[in-house]
Amino acid sequence: MSTSPSWSFAGGQAEARLGTAAATAGDINGDGFAEVIVGADAFNSERTDEGAAWLFLGSATGLEENPHLIAFGGQSTAWSGWAVAGAGNVNGDMSMSQHPIDDIVVGTYGYDGTNFDAGRDRVYHGSATGLPTASDCAK
């Protein structure tokens, strides 16, 4: 193994805690290459400590430099991206070349919903064009 990384991504924001969670995302676009999802639970977007998760697409040359998806928590102190994971192919879809198209899940433990800090998990279904900009379901 090399002592130098083949890819890196810097959060660019003080105290965002990029890398709080990181995971392989499987193949979310059915191209045969695995993706990586990275969380930063204290990232400030429109709100303080909203949190975020970034998805980087894989390719024949490695991970792309720019993220394909950035998912935010939707409220202050949501702490989105505290947990991220590849979810496998939860909806059973396949690419044109019959590769399973995987999905991801993003945990947001401070999300209020109907109760204070009730938490929320969001599933994003992959597709031949990648992930949607909004989650397909939230629980």
Q: Which structure tokens are listed for 133?
A: 């900009």
- Tell whether 4 is covered by a domain: no
Calculate the average pLDDT of the chain. Answer: 90
29 in a domain, yes or no?
Answer: yes
In angstroms, rounded to a whole number, what is the distance separating the alpha carbons of residues 118 and 29?
31
Whether 6 is in a domain gets the answer no
Residue 3 maps to a domain: no
| Domain total in the chain | 1
Q: Using an 8 Å Cβ cutoff, are 41 and 15 in contact?
A: no
> Considering the entire predicted model, what is its pTM?
0.88
Q: Is the pLDDT of residue 139 over 50?
A: no
pLDDT of residue 114: 87
Mean pLDDT, range 111-119, rounded to an integer? 91
For residue 12, tell me if it sits in a domain.
Answer: no
Query: Could you tell me if residue 99 is inside a domain?
Result: yes
CA atoms of 93 and 83, how far apart (whole Å):
24
Is residue 60 assigned to a domain?
yes
Report if residue 118 sits inside a domain.
yes
- Express each pLDDT in 36-71 by its tens digit: 999 999 999 999 999 999 999 999 999 999 998 888
Residue 106 structural domain: 18-138
